[in-house]
């Protein structure tokens, strides 16, 4: 084998090995993404309790699904806009979120925890658990799915006559 052929085969071998090596993706800053999801959730909460529908809708993905307690799921931004236009926060209400878990994998994140809503004078009007799924789109975390329950029992259903 001549020197040129040996060098060529050597170079091809090195390129083949390099091509088979696993690609190294940039290390995601999970802590920053977790903090961004917490911030987006707080912004969503603030927009709702401020009755700022435009700020609220800016935090939802186009294909969002919202699953409120005791009601059918609502899919898509237009349907969610109608829901939140009808279901507005009452004056004096506020909410405290306790996010127990916020996790991220790539451009998908999820959060879950507890919430407590108080009315005028700090009287509890609702409390329960929530779960939300987030997707990072163009560098911004958007709510894709959310579901929550109310720990208070529902009013009894009247028997059918």
pLDDT tens per residue across span 41-84: 999 999 999 999 999 999 999 999 999 998 999 999 999 999 99
Q: What DSSP letter does each residue of 30-53 carry, written as one string?
A: HHHHHHHHHHHHHHHHHHHHTT-H
Residue, of 152 and 53, whose pLDDT is higher = 53
Contact between residue 73 and residue 146 where contact means Cβ atoms under 8 Å apart: no
- Cα separation values, 144 from 67, 101, 141, 148, Å: 11, 17, 9, 14
Is the pLDDT at 159 greater than 80, yes or no? no
Q: What is the pLDDT of residue 154?
A: 57
Q: What DSSP letter does each residue of 43-87 carry, written as one string?
A: HHHHHHHTT-HHHHHTTEEEEEEEE-TTS--EESHHHHHHHHHHS
The backbone torsions φ and ψ at residue 50, rounded to the nearest 5 degrees and listed phi first, read -100, 0
Q: What is the pLDDT of residue 24?
A: 38
CA distance 76 to 93: 26
Question: What is the fold of 28-148?
Answer: Nuclear Transport Factor 2; Chain: A, (3.10.450)
Give the tokens for residue 108.
Answer: 């998908």
CA distance 34 to 100: 12
pLDDT tens per residue across span 70-121: 899 999 999 999 999 988 888 888 899 899 999 999 999 999 999 999 998 8
Q: What is the mean pLDDT of the chain?
A: 83
């Amino acid at each position: 084998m001549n020197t040129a052929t040996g060098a060529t085969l050597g170079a091809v071998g090195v390129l083949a090995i390099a091509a088979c090596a696993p690609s190294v993706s940039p290390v995601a800053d999970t802590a920053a993404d977790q903090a961004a999801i917490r911030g987006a959730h707080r912004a969503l909460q603030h927009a709702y309790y401020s009755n700022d529908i435009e700020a609220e809708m800016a935090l939802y993905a186009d294909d969002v699904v919202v699953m409120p307690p005791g009601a059918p799921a609502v899919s898509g931004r237009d349907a969610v806009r109608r829901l939140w236009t009808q279901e507005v926060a009452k004056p004096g209400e506020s909410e405290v979120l306790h996010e127990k878990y916020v996790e991220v994998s790539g451009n998908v994140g999820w959060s879950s925890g507890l919430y407590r809503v108080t009315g005028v004078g700090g009287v509890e009007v609702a409390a329960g658990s929530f779960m939300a799924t987030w997707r990072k789109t163009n560098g911004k975390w958007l709510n894709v799915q959310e579901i929550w329950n109310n720990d208070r029992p529902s009013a009894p259903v009247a028997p059918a006559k």
